[in-house]
Structure 1
Amino acid sequence: MEMQAGNSTESALIKYKEGLGMFTQKMPEFARQFNAFTEECFKEGALTQKQKQLIALGISIHAQDEYCIIYHTKACLDQGCSEQEILEAVGVTAAFGGGASMSQGVTLVQECISEMNQLKQ
């Protein structure tokens, strides 16, 4: 997915949820199994859900997966991550992914933080 000017991160989340809903109707058992797997992966354990979301955000940035970047930036905020924690995760990701990771972090991640914080107000 390439974000177009004027598209908000909220509309991308809606688009993702709609696509997931359609896929779930067509592949219900697969979707159920996948959802159960990811719920288990993100369950509180030795790592907190907050830490797991920061890891997922870093992986999403490195993979250049814009839907997941938006989804996990929101999840980081929902788990109580500060902007500083998120930006430090961007920095660690950039250490591995170089300029491509940095470009997502300084554009899409910051746009998501800004939009999600405005929605909370």
Structure 2
Amino acid sequence: MDIQSGHSVEHALLHYKEGLGTFTQKMPELAKSFNAFTEVCFQEGVLSQKQKQLIALGISLYSQDEYCIIYHVKGCLDQGATEEEILETIGVTAAFGGGATMSQAVTLVQEAVSELTTLKQ
């Protein structure tokens, strides 16, 4: 799926729901268990449903899952998140993504270069 090539957000949500319906028909117990688990995860608790949707949006962005991005933007809006809260979530996600890259670069990559360069000599 590529939203940017002309598929609408509404079409993507419909496509997801249709696919979920087909999967549920083929694997009813698995789908039932997964749905029950996710319902519990997104219930109001110490974290609000809005906070949980914002977290899910950040994870969706980081994993580059277009369906989940759309689904959780809708979840954020449905739970009353403002555009500013959504944009701030994007900023935190971008910082995390950059931080993950940097942490591996300054440790694992530098260590690998050092060891592999030593092995060549």
What TM-score, normalized by structure 2, do the two folds share?
0.78
**Cα shift at 1:62:** 0.3
Sequence identity (%): 73
Task: Give the residue type in structure 1 aligned to 2:56.
Answer: A
Q: SS where residue 45 of structure 1 aligns?
A: coil
Q: Is 1:71 aligned to 2:71, yes or no?
A: yes
Q: Is 1:6 aligned to 2:6, yes or no?
A: yes
Gaps of 5+ in 1: 99-121
Gaps of 5+ in 2: 99-121
Q: Is 1:59 aligned to 2:68, yes or no?
A: no
In structure 2, what is the Cα distance between the partners aligned to 1:9 and 1:3?
A: 7
| 1:13-68: CA deviation from partner (whole Å, max 9, x where unpaired) | 00000000000000000000000000010010000000000000000000011100
* Within-5 A mapping of 1:88-103: 88-98=88-98
What TM-score, normalized by structure 1, do the two folds share?
0.78
In structure 1, what is the Cα distance between the partners aligned to 2:43 and 2:87?
A: 23
From the CA coordinates, give the structure whose radius of gyration is larger.
Answer: 2
Runs of 4+ displaced beyond 6 Å: none
* Cα RMSD after superposing both structures: 0.9
In structure 2, what is the Cα distance between the partners aligned to 1:97 and 1:7?
A: 27
